[in-house]
Amino acid sequence: MTSIASIDSLVLSARLPGTWRLHSRIDVDGAGKEVPDPALGSAPIALLFYDRTGNFAAQFMNPNRDQSVAEGLAIAKNNTQAVGGYDAYFGKYAVDDATGVVTQTLLGALSKANVGATISRTMTVTGDSLGIKLETASWNGTPVIRTLTWERIG
């Protein structure tokens, strides 16, 4: 017989809280071609935090910020906007364990236009790996599927 505690440990809402470091961030278009993001680069560094009371924070940085950084769309579908090779936002989150969708409401963001936005991502946690998938647009408006892979560090 499975205990309630062991069932809870299998659901996303129980496995998501923690500190996560970005391992990879890949955008692909409808043809499967990789579409690098010039604002954050092809290998940004990032940290993501989820606590057990519904708060989260995310920070992304292009490690080559000394290079000219392209500015993209003011607001891409279901996404935030980097400024000067950096993106940061925080707020509240809710998990739908049945669908694996995490909905985040941005209370604060580096880009003023993102404050108050609601963004949703499909997430899975396997061991110490967090996978996130979302439909959005590249810097030039091309629809892309973004896949992020994170590793738990705390």
Mind listing the domains of the chain with CATH numbers? 4-152 (2.40.128.280)
CA dist 138 → 8, 35, 69, 135, 153 (Å): 36, 7, 14, 10, 29
User: How deeply is 153 buried, as exposed, middle or buried, from its count of CB atoms within 10 A (0-12, 13-18, 19+)?
Assistant: exposed
Report the alpha-carbon distance of residue 52 to residue 55 in Å, rounded. Answer: 7
pLDDT in tens, the chain (154 residues): 343 444 455 899 999 999 999 999 999 999 999 988 888 888 999 999 999 999 999 999 999 887 655 555 555 666 788 888 899 999 999 999 999 999 999 999 998 989 999 999 999 999 999 999 999 888 778 899 999 999 999 9
CA distance 115 to 81: 11
Closest by CA to 135, choosing from 116, 124, 122, 117, is 122
Given a contact cutoff of 8 angstroms between Cβ atoms, the answer to whether 78 and 43 are in contact is no
pLDDT in tens, 1-37: 343 444 455 899 999 999 999 999 999 999 999 988 8
At position 53, the amino acid (one-letter code) is: T
Amino acid 119: pLDDT: 93
